[in-house]
Structure 1
């Protein structure tokens, strides 16, 4: 079964990507706009509520984040051209682009320009769409609602003593842990680096992306 064959590299990669999203999201919450960059449920609620209450500027920011996340996901789909995690796909290119977008977001956020938040959201959308499924399991690396839901279902299987899904549970736990660890690191770094905290996930994604491109070139993946 898939659950018992999840490669360690997939689990480690999922942890790392979720940690990156956690760092980016911490910057969003601690920055001037106090907005999530890596997921959209709260953003959509902000947009609807602010629009209804006549807060045009705040509604515009939320709407811009929604559109930017969508454009990031669209870009990912154009680059990778598949919704399933498969060896040899152009994940490295997507990661490098994500890192460059995050670097570009920093000076704009430092000047409190909404475009900076839009770029950060686009980077998260790009990452989240990189691999939407792996062997039938939904893989989301920028938010935790689905992860916690799936973990709850896995717990119900254990309580009912149904056949185990150990591998899938490990992957989900790694994603949740990565997001929490990344959020903690991002919050700690924000006290020192402010928006320059995004340099960390930007650097990590570019290095990881370049590594993947080289490995793909030499047929290692």
Structure 2
């Protein structure tokens, strides 16, 4: 249960949710018409493809699901933990995500379906990277579980039970930021096409730079100055 939220987690979750919403909307509005930020709907499409024996869709949607999984595996390999803590290698993971999104943009411009796989891998990496804090599950690329948690918390509050208001507030911020990112992504895609991806690429790169700067300047990482020997 979150009792007090560090600013870096608050702002990080908010901007990454906004970025994910933008990426997913651009992917949905593009020529593939498939989401990249979550797997539930794509699993249903994968199952339908199996039912209709649509080999092409089975292979492509299956690859899309595996790409999201591969991104999550990469996140686990690089970071190695599930609990959020300043000082871990989130900066490296963010740079990898930005590189995947840039690759996705280039492939999309070539009308290559592999662009969708790169975007899905980027989302899988981000979603696994932002995992838990103080027992609260934090997800920034989809809203299903988060909305369920919010609903349960509101129900408990209406019943007069104690809830973690900071947790509920943070979940609401992620929800609205993802929605806002989706709206901005749709607006940009309608005008510049897949160029809309440059906004989330810029956001992720900026987040990586800021995180590394803050992490490198932690008090415990500062080396004490050596005293000059007295003459």
170-179 or 4-13: bigger deviation = 4-13
Q: TM-score, normalised by structure 1?
A: 0.95
State TM-score, norm by structure 2: 0.91
Q: 1:116-152 CA distances to partner (integer Å, 9 max, x unpaired)?
A: 0000000000000102111100011100001110010
State how far apart, in whole Å, the 2-side matches of 1:45 and 1:195 are.
26
Residues 83-112 of structure 1: per-residue CA shift (max 9 Å, x gap): 110110111111111011101111211222
- Identify the residue that residue 227 of structure 2 maps to in structure 1: none
Q: SS at 2:190's partner residue?
A: helix
SS in 2 for 1:129: helix
Residue aligning to 2:224? none
In 2, the alpha carbon distance for the partners of 1:84 and 1:4 equals 16
Partner of 1:144: 143
Aligned to 1:169: 168
Query: Does the CA-based 8 Å contact 2:2-2:136 persist in structure 1?
Result: no
Q: Tell me if 1:71 matches 2:97.
A: no
Which runs of 5 or more residues in structure 1 are unaligned? none
Output the CA distance in 1 between the equivalents of 2:22 and 2:5.
Answer: 25
Q: Distance in 2 between matches of 1:211 and 1:118?
A: 27
1:38 corresponds in structure 2 to: 37
CA contact (8 A) 1:3 1:168 kept: yes
CA RMSD of aligned residues (A): 1.4
1:183 paired with 2:172, answer: no
Over residues 151-199 of structure 1, what are the superposed CA-to-partner deviations in whole Å (9 max), with x where a residue is unaligned? 1011111111111311000111011011100000000000111111111
Paired with 2:29 and 2:127, the residues of 1 have a C-alpha distance of: 22
What is the distance in 1 between the residues matched to 2:163 and 2:117? Answer: 41
**CA contact under 8 A between 1:93 and 1:210: conserved in structure 2?**
no
Q: Which 4+ runs in 1 deviate beyond 3 A?
A: none
Shift of 1:58: 2.0
Count of matched residue pairs: 220
